[in-house]
Structure 1
Amino acid sequence: MKQIDYTWHLRARMAAHGMYSTTDLQPHLADRGITLSREQVYRLVTGQPQRLSMHTLVALCDILECTPNDLIEPHIVDTTVRKTAGKPAGVTPITARRTTIRRPGTES
């Protein structure tokens, strides 16, 4: 099974262009028709976005004079799934357990 992840290099690309604050990016995005709140820009710069509009990605590439490959570095790792003989991986067998039903008013 392959496990995928990525590294987001927006902050490093911004620093290379002399932009050290998240508020430096907001007017450049607005010039290209991308309206994001201050909080959205902060999360975009400091975190790894799970979803990103293609328009926003293209605007970032235009602002920072780079390609999407410069912003996103994919990591694909092959992971092995350990299987036991005759049992699917990750499945715990269910064992029967004897239960005793006790009704009120009866002693056992």
Structure 2
Amino acid sequence: MTRRLNFHWHLRQIMAAHDMWKTTDLIPLLRERGVKLSSAQVYRLVADKPERLSMRTLISLCDIFDCTPANLIEPYAETTARKKVAGDQSVVELTHDIRPERARILDDEP
């Protein structure tokens, strides 16, 4: 069994609960707390799941919405069974990190 960790990001729902519908409304509130993000960065923070988030930004969001990090981030684990083949032998699972070897283009000179 493989255990894969992930999380749900609830910033959009928390903003809606506070009657904040535009991502640009968040910019001045973050700036008041020393977090300077562009409108595009704030949009991605709200619309997407952040892969990296500074502690200052997380603390600022918690202060703005009077919540805890647990309200913003809901972790969960996914477990997947390993694939088996006939004879009960384990199959090596390929990841998406494997890349093909780059092709070499040779000149057609005699």
TM-score (norm 1): 0.78
How far did 1:89 drift? 2.5
The 5 Å alignment of 1:1-108 reads: 1-84=2-85, 85-90=88-93
1:68-102: CA deviation from partner (whole Å, max 9, x where unpaired): 000011121221112333454337xxxxxxxxxxx
One-letter code aligned to 2:45: L
Please say which structure displays the higher CA radius of gyration. Answer: 1
1:46-70: CA deviation from partner (whole Å, max 9, x where unpaired): 1110000011000000001000000
CA distance in 2, matches of 1:20, 1:53: 23
CA distance in 2, matches of 1:73, 1:87: 33
What RMSD over aligned residues (CA atoms) do the two structures have, in Å?
A: 1.4
Percent identity of paired positions between Structure 1 and Structure 2: 49
SS at match of 1:43: helix
Structure 1 stretches of 4+ with a deviation exceeding 4 A read: none
Structure 1 unaligned regions, length at least 5: 92-108
Q: How many residues align?
A: 91
In structure 2, do the counterparts of structure 1 residues 87 and 77 end up closer, same or farther at CA, with 3 Å as the change threshold? closer
CA distance in 1, matches of 2:28, 2:5: 33
More strand by share: 2
The answer to whether the Cα contact below 8 Å between 1:83 and 1:89 also exists between their aligned partners in 2 is: no
Structure 2 unaligned regions, length at least 5: 95-110
